[in-house]
Amino acid sequence: MLVTANDRDKVGAAISAAEKATSGEIVAVIASSSASYVSVAPLVAALVALLVPWPLIYFTWWPVQWIYLLQLAVFAVVGAIAYYRPVRLALVPKSIKNERAHKRAVEQFLAQNLYTTKSHTGVLIFISSAERYAEIIADKNIYVKVPQERWQALVDRLTLRIGDGDPADGLVETITETGALMATHFPPGNSNPDELPNHLIVID
Q: Is 84 exposed, middle or buried (0-12, 13-18, 19+ CB in 10 A)?
A: exposed
- Quote the CA–CA distance of 73 and 30 in Å, as a whole number: 39
Q: What is the mean pLDDT of residues 169-184?
A: 93
Q: Are 108 and 31 in contact (CB under 8 A)?
A: yes
Predicted pLDDT of residue 200: 92
- Identify the structural domains of the chain with CATH numbers, from first to last: 5-35+94-203 (3.10.310.50), 40-91 (no CATH)
Predicted pLDDT of residue 86: 93
Single pTM value for the model: 0.88
50-94 pLDDT, tens digit each: 999 999 988 989 999 999 999 999 999 999 999 999 999 999 999
- Quote the CA–CA distance of 69 and 142 in Å, as a whole number: 61
Alpha carbon of 164 to those of 113, 158, 170, 192: distances in Å?
Answer: 31, 10, 10, 36
Amino acid identity at 70: L
Share of the chain above pLDDT 90, in %: 63
The 3-class SS string of the chain reads CCCCHHHHHHHHHHHHHHHCCCCCEEEEEEECCCCCCCCHHHHHHHHHHHHCHHHHHHHCCCCHHHHHHHHHHHHHHHHHHHHCHHHHHHHCCHHHHHHHHHHHHHHHHHHCCHHHCCCCCEEEEEEECCCCEEEEEECHHHHCCCCHHHHHHHHHHHHHHHHCCCHHHHHHHHHHHHHHHHHHHCCCCCCCCCCCCCCCEEEC
86-128 pLDDT, tens digit each: 999 999 999 999 999 999 999 999 999 898 888 898 999 999 9
> Residue 1: pLDDT above 60?
no
Q: How confident is the model at residue 26 (pLDDT cuts 50, 70, 90)?
A: very high
Q: What is the mean pLDDT of residues 114-143?
A: 91
